[in-house]
Amino acid sequence: MDNEITSMDFSVRFSDCNEYSRLKLSRLFQFMEEAAIIDAERNGYGLWDLMKAGYTYVITRMKIRLNHTPLLGENLNVCTWTKELFKDKVALKDFSIQDSQGHQLVEGTSSWLLVNLATGKSEAPSNSPFPIPLHPGKNAMPEMLDILPPGESPRVVYQEQARNSDMDVNHHVNHCRYVDWVVDCLSREERKDRGIRSLQLNYIHQVALGEKVDMVRFKDSTHHTVIFGMNAEDMKKDPFTARCHFQARVGFGE
C-alpha cells in the first residue's frame, strides 16, 4: 500500500449545473464524497470492509472555500487525504480542487467520526481494524471547525421533509442533500449576483425518512448568513429545546 494523495477527475455536465450554468454546490459535495470513498478504498479501509468489521465513518463537519464556482464544461481534479487524527477523537480530511490548468478553485476540510455499529457510539479512530494513512502538515484549510452559535431574529424560511430520494445507505438523509436545502433558503441576488464564497455544514442529529425539518435563518452579518435545520415537531412544542439536525454558515462575495 502506498501513501499517495488520492486524485479523481470530474467533468461538469449539464445535469450537474444550476440555472446559471454553474456547478450545483450539492454536486460539488458529491464529487468530494466520491473522492473520499475512493480514498478509503485504496488505503485499505473501504466502506464495506469497515462495515463487515462492525464500524463505519460518518462525517460531522465540512467547510469549503470557493475561489471560483466551476462552470458547465469545465474539467476538475479533486484531491483528498487524511491529515490528522485530532486528539484520537476525529479524523480530519482535507480537499483540494483544481481546474485542468492547475488553478486552485476550491479548498475544503472536514471531520469524521469512527462509529461502532453495534453500540451506535463513536470510538477513537485508533480502534479501527484498518489504520488510516496520514499526511501530517499538509493542509488545504488549516482551521478547525467549531459549533455555530445561533444568531438574532430567527425566522422559519420554509419546511423540508425527508423523502425516499434523500436517503443513503446509512438510512438517513445524505449529507449532500442538506446543501440543497440550505441553498433553497437563499435569494437570487445572494446566489447569482453576490455569489457563494464559503459554506460550512455541521451535522448534528441524523434526519430519518419522513421527518420534517424547519429551515431557520438568523439575522445576517455583512458577509454571512447562518441557517439551522431544526426538528419541526420539536419546534411546535418548544423552539428553545428543539433538536438541531444541522447548522450552516454561508459566506457571500461583495
Question: Tens of pLDDT along 22-50?
Answer: 999 999 999 999 999 999 999 989 989 99
- By CB atoms closer than 10 A (0-12, 13-18, 19+), residue 42 is middle
Task: Measure Cα distances from 123 to 131, 159, 175 in Å.
Answer: 13, 34, 21
Query: Cα 165 vs. chain centroid, distance in angstroms?
Result: 18
Cα–Cα–Cα angle for 27, 205, 89, rounded to 5 degrees: 90
What whole-number distance in Å separates Cα of residue 205 and Cα of residue 123?
A: 17
List, for residues 153-189, the tens digit of each pLDDT value.
999 999 999 999 999 987 889 999 999 999 999 999 9
E strand intervals along 49-148: 55-66, 75-86, 90-99, 104-116, 122-123
pLDDT for the residue 1: 44
For residue 91, the cross-strand partners are: 85, 112
Give the pLDDT mean for 215-239: 96
Mean pLDDT computed over 191-208: 95
What single string gives the DSSP state of each residue in 128-174?
A: -SSPPP--TT--SS-PPPPPPPP-SS-EEEEEEE--GGGB-TTSSB-
Q: What is the pLDDT of residue 246?
A: 97
Residue 124, pLDDT > 80, answer yes
Residue type, 132: I
Share of the chain above pLDDT 70, in %: 99
Tens digit of each residue's pLDDT (9 = 90 or more) over 68-120: 999 999 999 999 999 999 999 999 999 999 999 999 999 999 999 999 999 99
> Contact 80/39 with Cβ under 8 angstroms?
yes
Q: Is 63 helix (H, G, I), strand (E, B) or coil?
A: strand
